[in-house]
Amino acid sequence: MRLTLHGILLGMRRLIPVSLFVIPFGTAFGIAAIEAGLDPVQATLASAFVFTATAQFAALDFLTEPVAFVSLALVVLALSSRHIVMSAALSTWVNRLPKSKRFLVLATLSDANFADALPDLQGGQDDLGRLFGGGVMLWVTWVASTAVGAFGGNILGDTDAYGFSVVMICFFAATVAGQVQSRTRLLVPVLVAMGIAVLTLPVLPTGWNIILAALAGGAVSAWLHAE
């Protein structure tokens, strides 16, 4: 496996459109963080160091004196636990890099660059630059748009009127549809996972329904095609 500058630039370019749609979320986080009592520099640093939207939004509830550090850690672990699943799915390729590069690439892992790079890797591409470059692009946008919201949020209006809010979910849905289209054996596992995610949503804590559903989808995939 390689990690080339060419691949990194390709990954960055590929995720420019998706990154544009990260801006409303980052700005919203910046605004929410100020409302929760952080100062603008703190809000921006939180995005720079943590880089995971759902967990950051949830963590805001815990960032008041005195901070319950253990609860804070558990919330972040739970809400970003689907990274564990994505990281395992990438292990086939990532683990062929030297350790330092491996951790550098994985530090930028998030939903969008995972969804973008995976079909390529499965198709035999040997450059992890696309995953990493995509992650860098998302990170820069996430941090910059948080700063915009935190430093100037009150002068921005409602950003939802143009349909931005649906774009991320459309991106994820289209990625899965493309994967299933080129590998039809994934259809049944994917449908099982979607069903389980919806059915367990009311009874499991946020995020855990996705982990359970993903594990079930993996199990179905292994079971259906076992010799």
- Shorter beta-carbon distance to another protein: residue 138 or 213: 213
We find the least distance from the C-beta atom of residue 148 to another protein, in angstroms, to be 19
* Token output for 198: 């919806």
Going by C-alpha positions, the residue among 115, 105, 49, 57 that lies closest to residue 82 is: 115
**How many CB atoms lie under 10 A from the CB of residue 107?**
12
We find the least distance from the C-beta atom of residue 64 to another protein, in angstroms, to be 7
Distance CA 50, CA 75 (A): 13
For the chain, report the end-to-end CA distance as a whole number of angstroms.
Answer: 30
- Shorter beta-carbon distance to another protein: residue 63 or 140: 63
We find the least distance from the C-beta atom of residue 186 to another protein, in angstroms, to be 5
CA dist 75 → 36, 78, 99, 130, 227 (Å): 17, 5, 28, 30, 40
- Shorter beta-carbon distance to another protein: residue 102 or 130: 102
- Shorter beta-carbon distance to another protein: residue 156 or 204: 204
* Token output for 127: 């450059």
We find the least distance from the C-beta atom of residue 2 to another protein, in angstroms, to be 17
Going by C-alpha positions, the residue among 67, 70, 125 that lies closest to residue 92 is: 125
We find the least distance from the C-beta atom of residue 145 to another protein, in angstroms, to be 18
- Shorter beta-carbon distance to another protein: residue 7 or 189: 189
We find the least distance from the C-beta atom of residue 181 to another protein, in angstroms, to be 6
CA dist 155 → 42, 143, 159, 205 (Å): 20, 19, 12, 35
Residues 8/133, Cβ–Cβ less than 8 Å? yes
* Token output for 24: 């409303």
- Shorter beta-carbon distance to another protein: residue 8 or 112: 112
